[in-house]
Amino acid sequence: MSKLVPPYGSPELKPLLLEGQANREEAAKAQGLKKIPLTSRETSDLVMMGIGAFTPLDGFMGKDDWQSCCDDYKLPSKKGLFWPIPITLSADEDLAKSIRQAEEVALWDTETDALVGTMKVDEKYMIDKEHECKQVFRTNDPRHPGVQKVMEQGPVNLAGPVKVLSESYFPKEFKGIYQRPADARKLFADRGWSTVATLQLRNPMHNSHAYLAWIAIEVCDGVYVHQSLGKLKPGDIPADVRVKAIDALVNKYFRKERVIQGGHPFEMRYAGPREALLHATFRQNYGCSHLIVGRDHAGVGDYYGPFDSQKIFNEIPPGALATKPLCLDWTFYCYECGSMASMKTCPHESKAVIDGNGNYKGGARLLLSGSLLRKLMSEGKPVPAEFSKPEVIAILKQYYDTLQEEDKVEVKLHRAATGEMKPR
């Protein structure tokens, strides 16, 4: 009997990926079906359903579920089950009009030009994109990467149950790191873990990330370093480079029996608080009892307060999620303490001063963030030794040295990363 938290909304995982003969037969049938192009986000969501990470969903959401999810975090089709972000498939009007009620269609990944699934179209409906953005992202600003994605999608949503035929490029490109929920659960069970804290990462692991993970190991059986392998916004470090950097840090600075690395195909929405809830929801399917929620979890720019993603867990119905937030304070390197510290432990409040050569010039707190690390690296500026381990910096430097100037994207910092925003 597993001691891990149960799957979300279901007594067991519900993977929708067809295997063996069933897969081959469905793929053959799909060759004669109308093609529906999927964006990278929609393909990632389909794969998440395929591997059971979005248990208990059985397809893309209909209008009632979309509306209720946006407004009330509920799915009427699942008896009011809590769900924080819509999972939808869009199409342009002409294509939508050509599809008959209950018609079966082939789902086609536009990134890889490959068949990834089929769907029975039970419903077609127009959506209010601005309403979705305002509810999910708390903004309609087109500069927000999540808002931009929604505004670029087709005006009609197609809904219905899906059959998943492929995990896209994830198993091959990220062999050894990409995992299905059942894979992770087996690894945890084999080690006898019952409490597992997951560290969500879309950035290379700097010293603040490592510090959060070490704290979590003190209170849980182990930590699951769980990386986003889906497509990221421009300026973020590609997943393959990030995997190498995290490998280098974890393999040298963690006890191997207390940490497991994995990767998931989810594509970031950068929805801050709402996305933190979704991260916890699908981590329950992976068997994680806790989600580490630090400063600006799943955020971008200055759209969210530094701890909004922690506060939102107090606003949802009690018992909605078995996976609980492990809320950790603002962390940094303190030159006065001579170590990593947090707002709860460190009495030294002055901001550290670093010169243009990366040398310490005075003050106490050196604030660390993934965006600041990317900014320093992309601009060719020295990174203070206290910021990240040398093995990580070497891998990132090698990546940035290969970029042409026209490939570099300006990295804008959240005010919290610069120290301009007051801590709570």
Question: Which of 364, 362, 333, 361 has its CA nearest to residue 348?
Answer: 364
Give strand ranges (E) for 133-264.
156-164, 196-201, 222-228, 259-264
Q: Would you tell me how many other CB atoms lie within 10 Å of the CB of residue 41?
A: 22
Which residue type does 421 have?
M
Question: CA-to-CA distance for 197 and 223, rounded, in angstroms?
Answer: 5
DSSP string, 235-287: TSPPHHHHHHHHHHHHHHHS-GGGEEEEEE-PPP---THHHHHHHHHHHHHHT
Question: CA-to-CA distance for 149 and 134, rounded, in angstroms?
Answer: 13
Q: Would you tell me how many other CB atoms lie within 10 Å of the CB of residue 141?
A: 12
Q: Identify any residues that bridge with 227 across adjacent strands, giving them in sequence order.
A: 201, 263
Q: What contacts 359, CB < 8 A, 6 or more positions away?
A: none
Token pair in block for residue 170: 């994830």
Q: How many residues are listed for the chain in this entry?
A: 424
Question: CA-to-CA distance for 346 and 364, rounded, in angstroms?
Answer: 10
Look up 285 and say whether it is catalytic.
no
Token pair in block for residue 125: 């409906």
DSSP collapsed to 3 states, 123-139? EEEECCHHHHHHHHHCC
Look up 191 and say whether it is catalytic.
no
Annotated catalytic residue within 203, 207, 274, 374: 203
Annotated catalytic residue within 41, 185, 202, 274: 202
Strand order in the sheet with 222-228: 259-264, 222-228, 196-201, 290-293, 324-327
Cα-based distances in Å from 201 to 185, 206, 291, 293, 369: 19, 10, 11, 11, 12
Q: Which residues are catalytic?
A: 202-203
